[in-house]
Structure 1
């Protein structure tokens, strides 16, 4: 009987240990989630912002954020579509729409992050009006950013575009009174071209990487109701758009803490956009 009692107690102890594991250790393991996000490399300011978001995600939602960095805009969506990352955050609505169309894909936005007015920089002139006849202007060569750059040149009064132009290319230019030469370059190369061209339209992340002061730009894209397509977003696969932990990543980003971090790192060069009102 004594031996039987020992066996019974041994079984009880094992059951308690197993139950304890699933109640505490197992539960903890289930709640500790990791999400990998694709972002662009070479952006210390963005790294600082995501470090802040990662701390919020960990503290509030027990989500560990990991990051995979890419060197050009053609990579992060492909990585997401192929499952190399869980989410990405590098693009605006217009870029995503164009990529989905070109690649027959169904990546979807799940949260807004910020909007960055694109800018025209020059090492040779201080005012758009001083750009000489026949000058060369560098623009990004990816479809959406090239379109955005051409609309910037239109708004700056340097060119006009054909009526009802949506996604602009150099073929969309209607009038070019200064006979400007439009030089299409990879977005990452536009800042480096400044010594060779009269002016260049440069995305803010690449301007920051090149240590250009955004306040030195000779023209800034206006932010208004037409700017919705340029708001940057967190993107997921369509099948994952309602995944709880991905929604929590968005919540971790869209906080007053993140807003302060954006303002700290970028000043007014980058504008938090999850609750922005475009007039």
Structure 2
């Protein structure tokens, strides 16, 4: 997912939802999926809210190459923030979304009283440590400044990556909730907290930066080749998944889309298109 969490006021959410959605594909009204008795019309297109890269790209591949044969009508709508897709899914304005990972969703549901649940894992956008000055991890030394995302879930994730690569030491057991105050040994490093989306642009102003996979891709960075350290997919809680409002998991359209998103064709598409910048992470989401 685009992992920076940028919460906005409810009024702004409403305005942005009305004005800031870009449709990709048919312009079906999500409300048209409801029958007169309130039940879901499974013959209507499944409208899915998605971040542009790589989520909407993956969905467009499914729509153009797999959906018709599977009997699925798919409508992809792009969102450029991380509040609106869950709000729209909760309100029934879209039938599903594809942009987030479990730590973000858990935090969002808790703070907003929403009831969004994961359906199936699809991919991981590995978080990486990048530098325009250092050529290897050994070049990151005391006195240098490392920029990290400033939101709750991604800062913890970034600090875990640094700790796993022996650049810092964290308090035992802090996990993905780690904060700068949980660093027990900074090994002389200094830290700069920035909004995740701005980190690629700030890369030349610091000695190194931990950047989310999707932002790295958009900045023409090549995680597999250029990252000094990179997350692994196995057992990673940050896999991005298809999600729906609780109770809609068995909608036949959702079931079909989940199957297609975990298909060999999608695996090949991800491997060919992203060359390691996006990694498949198929299967059941972590509980």
Interval of TM-score (by shorter of Structure 1 and Structure 2): 0.7 to 0.9
CA distance in structure 2 between the aligned counterparts of 1:182 and 1:73, rounded to whole angstroms: 25
The answer to whether 1:251 aligns with 2:259 is yes
Deviations 1:245-274 (A, max 9, x none): 111111121111111100111112322222
Which residue is equivalent to 1:168?
A: 178
Query: Within 2, Cα distance between the matches of 1:171 and 1:77?
Result: 30
Q: Which has the larger radius of gyration?
A: 1
Q: Distance in 1 between matches of 2:164 and 2:139?
A: 16
Q: Deviations over 1:191-215 (max 9, x none)?
A: 1110111111111111111111221
Which position in structure 1 is the counterpart of 2:50? Answer: 39
After TM superposition, the structure 1 = structure 2 runs for residues 106-185 of structure 1, keeping only pairs within 5 Å, are: 106-166=115-175, 167-178=177-188, 180-185=189-194
Distance (whole Å) between structure 2 residues aligned to residue 60 and residue 31 of structure 1: 16
Distance 1:159 1:238 in 2: 39
Which of 200, 209, 216 aligns to 2:209? It is 200
Q: Deviation above 6 Å: which 4+ runs of structure 1? A: none
Worse overlay, 129-138 or 261-270 = 129-138
Contact 2:79 2:85 in 1 (8 A): yes
Is contact 2:233–2:279 with CA below 8 Å preserved after alignment?
Answer: no
RMSD: 2.0
Local SS of the residue matching 2:270: helix
Task: List gaps (5 residues or longer) in structure 2.
Answer: 1-40
Q: 1:190 aligns with which of 189, 199, 206?
A: 199
| Counterpart residue number, 1:233 | 241
TM-score under structure 2 length normalisation: 0.78
Higher helix share: 1
Question: Are the equivalent residues in 1 in contact too, given 2:60–2:76 (CA < 8 A)?
Answer: no
Which whole-Å CA distance do the structure 2 matches of 1:50 and 1:149 have between them? 28
Q: Are residues 1:242 and 2:250 paired?
A: yes
Measure how far apart 1:181 and its partner are.
2.5
How high is the TM-score relative to the length of structure 1?
Answer: 0.80
